[in-house]
Structure 1
Amino acid sequence: MSDSLEVTGPVGVVGAGRMGAAMAGRLRSAGVDVVLWNRSVDRAQAVAAATGARVAGTAREAAEAGPVVLVSLADDAACRAAYAGPDGVAAGAGPDTVVADTSTVAPQTSIDLAALVREGEGGAMLDTPVSGSVPVVERGELTIMAGGDAADLDRARPVLELLAKQIFHVGDHGAGATMKLAVNALVHALNQAVAEALVLAERSGVDRAAAYEVFAGSVAGGPFVQYKRAAFERPEETPVAFRLGLVAKDLDLILDLAARAGAPMPQAVTNRRAVADAVAAGLGDEDMSAVARYLRGHS
């Protein structure tokens, strides 16, 4: 991990949701000056009070803060809105600025936003979506999948290395977004499989904790099974890490990309239907592991 002294100025952070707030906190704990913007001012102020970040009045002001800007927003529409216009990210990202967008969006959105930043004030953009949750950010152990120019990635690397244990440069603009969707297709498939297997064991008379102990100790007990153990075993006392509503959004993006690429994804189609049922049952704000809760209530 890079020494925080290598970060040569403030870092702008656009978006103060769970992940954006955690990134701001991680950077502040490393001694980095953070200038934070969020569409909801109250949320930005709360995160600033907790972390010591400064609050920007506009996304443009956050983008003007330093040579590296991190963006963490919920979806494509939020990203496009934050980048556009006289108060947007693109208007504040000058020739010496690299915008590293960690949002999970369609590859074409990343390509479009990179062009908008370049054509605005001459800044550079990378799509740098991440794999990991808030505790992983706090430990500086994210995995980052970067799309864009390698030289721009090198300029952003001192900041990104404060957040990540692994940074993969996977290609040009859009490649990082593509890889994130591929990773999430796998993650969401694992989530569905664990939920189904756990409910099968429970319905057949095996104690939930005992069943999960076997999962964790078996050939299937990889990092995802270990990481989601508390959420599946004790959902009532485990904080939400990834909302089921966002899983639905991801699967829509995944299936749209699959259609464009001509890649058959029958399991993703099934997973999308299962998640839609759980969201329709009112579980959209619950953790992704709530798929198991939904299955427990159905025959």
Structure 2
Amino acid sequence: MGAAMAARLRAQRVTVKVFNRTTDRAAAVAARTGADLAPTARAAAAGADVVLVSLADDAAVEATYTGADGLVAGLRAGTVVADTSTIDPRTAIRLGDLVRGAGAAHLDAPVSGSVPSVESGQLTVLAGGRLADLDRARPVLAHLSHRVVHVGPAGTGATIKLAVNGIVHALNQALSEALVVAEAAGVDRSTAYDVFAASVAGAPFVGYKRAAFEDPDGVPPAFTLDLVGKDLDLLLALAARVGVPAAQATANRAAVAGAVDAGFGDRDMSAIAEHLRNRRLSVGRRTGNGGRNGM
């Protein structure tokens, strides 16, 4: 996602400096897009009007913000840090305090959408923080998004992203199960997908994940099952803190854990369907029916 953001901004002729803790990744993005390569997060932040952060988890975000070479150390007064990572709202608030302590501004600003959404500037930005700070970041965010929602104060952007992802991961599980059931009962995979996409269940997620579901070995991972598990853990922790039962998220987390245990952790989230196909074949072998109607 971060690489796609850099490419989109460069295509819009925005000056960009990139940093990643894995230097080769950042160097590849810089070479491909014409962005400048920064040796540290501090150097990437130095002199910037807006700093965008897009990282996998809380630990990566914390490591990038803090320390002598962290981005906080490179901030100047007036810079706006817009963190698009999906992280615990408490982490977003705590690191936002560090940024504000350096005289800069902070937004927890995760996004809803896929890499193709970035490439076409069609993300939805879910921003928590001061509205005045969001307004200063809008010129940059506008290159990436078709809508920017000011959700509320610090932490609310991170909170609503977890809620949104809870729905997305439920859709992924439901779509996987429905597709494999239809296949197992004799419906062609593409035909089944045509029906799903045209039905009342045809959410945007169903449309943009079609290639991954129809050709699981031919499409590179866009969002791995390991990251789905991370998201659901964060959502379940949040639900527990606010005292809300989350039976759907609990069931989906168990399903993801099963797929990860079976070796699908680094595969795209759509690989839940492949995991279900494998389980069906396994049950079929045990019952001696060759896999037909094994579930």
Q: TM-score range by the shorter chain?
A: over 0.9
Q: Distance in 1 between matches of 2:64 and 2:200?
A: 44
User: Aligned residue for 2:229?
Assistant: 248
Q: Percent identity?
A: 64
- What is the rounded CA distance, in whole Å, between the counterparts of 1:59 and 1:216 in structure 2? 42
Equivalent in 154, 175, 186 of residue 167 of structure 2: 186
The one-letter amino acid of 2:204's match is P
Question: Does 1:214 pair with 2:195?
Answer: yes
In 2, are the aligned partners of 1:126 and 1:153 still within 8 Å (CA)?
yes
Aligned-partner Cα distance in 1 for 2:158–2:114: 17
Structure 1 letter corresponding to 2:15: D
Determine the structure 2 residue equivalent to 1:24: 6
The residue type equivalent to 1:199 in the other structure is V
| Aligned ranges 1:267-278 → 2 under 5 Å | 267-278=248-259
Q: Give the match's secondary structure for 1:297.
A: helix
Contact 2:47 2:76 in 1 (8 A): no
| Structure exhibiting the larger radius of gyration computed from Cα positions | 2
- Is 1:158 equivalent to 2:135 in the alignment? no
For the Cα contact (< 8 Å) 1:100–1:156, is it kept in 2? yes
Q: TM-score, normalised by structure 2?
A: 0.93
Contact 2:47 2:75 in 1 (8 A): no
Q: Which amino acid aligns with 1:287?
A: D
CA distance in 2, matches of 1:133, 1:48: 21
Give the CA deviation at 1:146.
0.0
C-alpha distance after superposition, 1:22-46 (max 9, x if no partner): 1111111111111111111111111
The answer as to whether partners of 2:53 and 2:83 remain within 8 angstroms in 1 is: yes
> Match of 1:89?
71
Aligned residues: 280
1:46 and 2:28 aligned: yes
Paired AA for residue 35 in structure 1: K
**Structure 1 moving runs of 4+ over 6 Å:** none
Structure 1, residues 1-28: CA drift from partner, whole Å, max 9, x if none? xxxxxxxxxxxxxxxxxx1111111111
Shift of 1:105: 0.1
What root-mean-square deviation, in Å, do the aligned CA atoms of Structure 1 and Structure 2 show?
Answer: 0.9
- 8 Å CA contact 2:84–2:111 kept in 1: the answer is yes
Q: In 1, distance between residues paired with 2:203 and 2:11?
A: 30
- The correspondence of residues 90-239 of structure 1 with structure 2, limited to 5 A, is 90-119=72-101, 121-239=102-220
Residue among 40, 51, 69 paired with 1:58? 40
Amino acid at match of 2:208: Y
Conservation of the 8 A alpha-carbon contact between 2:96 and 2:106: yes
Structure 2, unaligned runs of 5 or more? 281-295
The 2-side partners of 1:231 and 1:42 are apart by 27
Q: State the 1:239 CA deviation.
A: 2.3
Structure 1 residues not aligned, in runs of 5+ = 1-18
What's the secondary structure of 1:287's corresponding residue?
A: coil
1:24 and 1:211 map into 2 onto residues whose CA distance is 36
